[in-house]
């Protein structure tokens, strides 16, 4: 079975991290693309996003690399 079919359910259920701003009373999406991995920094008011899409070739040969936002 092709990898795309195997990962289809997980792709449909993928979600994005969001933050609720209490003072403003609004929900803000963190990150711009579904391929980004957004990681909040503990005890801080910020997070960083790693986008692995542009470095797919390097990852395929064992070198991990990502663009950080």
pLDDT band (50, 70, 90) for residue 63:
low
- Cα separation of the two ends of the chain: 35
What pLDDT, on a 0 to 100 scale, did the predictor assign at position 61?
64
Query: Is the whole model's pTM more than 0.85, yes or no?
Result: no
59: pLDDT strictly greater than 60: no
- pLDDT for 26-49, tens place per residue? 998 887 877 778 888 899 888 888
Higher pLDDT, 61 or 24: 24
pLDDT value of position 27: 92
Residue 35 sits at the vertex; the CA angle it makes with 66 and 40, to the nearest 5 degrees, is 70
């Amino acid at each position: 079975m092709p990898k795309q079919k195997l990962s289809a359910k997980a792709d449909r259920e993928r979600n994005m991290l969001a933050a609720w701003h209490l003072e403003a009373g609004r929900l803000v999406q963190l990150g711009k693309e579904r391929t980004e991995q957004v990681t909040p920094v503990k005890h801080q008011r910020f997070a960083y996003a790693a986008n692995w899409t542009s470095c797919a070739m390097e990852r395929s040969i064992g070198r991990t690399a990502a663009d950080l936002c």
